[in-house]
Amino acid sequence: MRLSDVTKFPHPVLSPFTGDFLNGAFSVDFDVSENLKTGALFLRHNIVLTHLDLAHLVASGQAVVGCLVKCSDTFYNELRTLSYPDGNIDFAPGSLLNKVSLRPIVWLSSELKGWSPEGLHSEFLAPLFMGLGDVIAIGAESEISVGQAKLASIESIFELNNSSEVGEGEVCVDLEGDRISILVSPSTFSVIELLRQREMAVVLNSIYLPAVMEVLDRLQGDHSYDTWRWFVPFTEKCRAKGVALESGVSILEGAQKLLEFPALKLDKVIKE
């Protein structure tokens, strides 16, 4: 099954993208727990279905709530049913890794003859005749990060190097390597090395923060760096922190999330 935000249907579908219903909403909140040693995944869910007619169909067993789970790294692509209104589903070790997309849907488990739901858009004329398996609601797709890649520290993804080609006081970033290289002049490098041992908070705010912003800026809409070793742990950390790699998204806000708001650590410097 292939669904997207722009999928078209010949019948009304409750969704934030269609406008087929004038009221009501459908969404699923997911809470992820995973065993990092075995790779097993435990996914709790809470279903929000506020359209009374659709909620009645689910409660009566005439419709089913499910989630389309996709993982390109493991080729997992399966529609899993979800208990209503909440519950959990388990995934075997190794079945999911890194980026996993979750698309909640509701479909009919029986035919509907003469269905007249409330709040139907004038484009559709009731009563409706719906078939077995027809999709009647689609929620927004969400993504989760599975595995240990997201746990990599920022300092394990970046490395600090000196270069005579970098001017005094400048900071440059090189993405073409196994690790993202932050380049500074030899004299600046010596100062930063001393600060890393004594006042790492200063280094995070003055060196790593702008460097991470530069990486986020380059990656917005550009995945040409996906062959480098740093790419997976960096993007998985972004996914885990809710940082979108899309144009128009604040790179300053994203960098602060990835560095766990480094300005908060400056208070410790003052106290010392």
Give 155-214 pLDDT, tens digit per residue. Answer: 889 999 999 999 998 999 999 999 999 999 999 999 988 887 778 888 888 899 999 999
Buried b (16+ CB within 10 A) or exposed e, 60-78: eebbbbbbbbbbeebebee
| 128 and 43, same domain (yes or no) | yes
**108 lies in some domain:** yes
Confidence label for 271 from pLDDT (cuts 50, 70 and 90): low
Residue after which a domain boundary falls, among 77, 111, 146: 146
**219 lies in some domain:** yes
Predicted confidence at residue 115, as pLDDT, reads 92
| 49 and 128, same domain (yes or no) | yes
CATH number, position 35:
2.60.40.10
Residue 272 has pLDDT above 70, yes or no: no
Residue 97 has pLDDT above 80, yes or no: yes
Predicted confidence at residue 253, as pLDDT, reads 96
| 163 and 141, same domain (yes or no) | no
**213 lies in some domain:** yes
Chain-wide mean pLDDT for the chain?
90
| 187 and 140, same domain (yes or no) | no
| 162 and 224, same domain (yes or no) | yes
Three-state secondary structure readout of 109-124: CCCEEEECCCCECCCC
Residue after which a domain boundary falls, among 127, 146, 165: 146
Predicted confidence at residue 139, as pLDDT, reads 94
Range of the domain at 89: 26-146
Task: Give the chain's length.
Answer: 272
Domain count for the chain, please give it.
Answer: 2
Q: Which helix (H) or strand (E) holds 136?
A: strand 135-138
**49 lies in some domain:** yes
**12 lies in some domain:** no
**229 lies in some domain:** yes
**8 lies in some domain:** no
| 120 and 188, same domain (yes or no) | no
Taking the C-alpha atoms of residue 44 and residue 143, their distance in angstroms, rounded to an integer, is 14
Token duo for residue 119: 């709040």
| 154 and 267, same domain (yes or no) | yes
Q: Looking at residue 194, what DSSP letter applies?
A: H
Q: Average of pLDDT values for 16-43?
A: 89
Least confident of 31-40, 83-92, 113-122, 175-184: 31-40
Task: Name the phi and psi angles at 219, rounded to 5.
Answer: -85, -10
Confidence label for 270 from pLDDT (cuts 50, 70 and 90): low
Whether the predicted model's global pTM rises above the 0.85 cut = no
Residue 49 has pLDDT above 80, yes or no: yes
**7 lies in some domain:** no
In terms of Cα–Cα distance, which of 189, 156, 194 is closest to 172?
189
Residue after which a domain boundary falls, among 146, 166, 197: 146
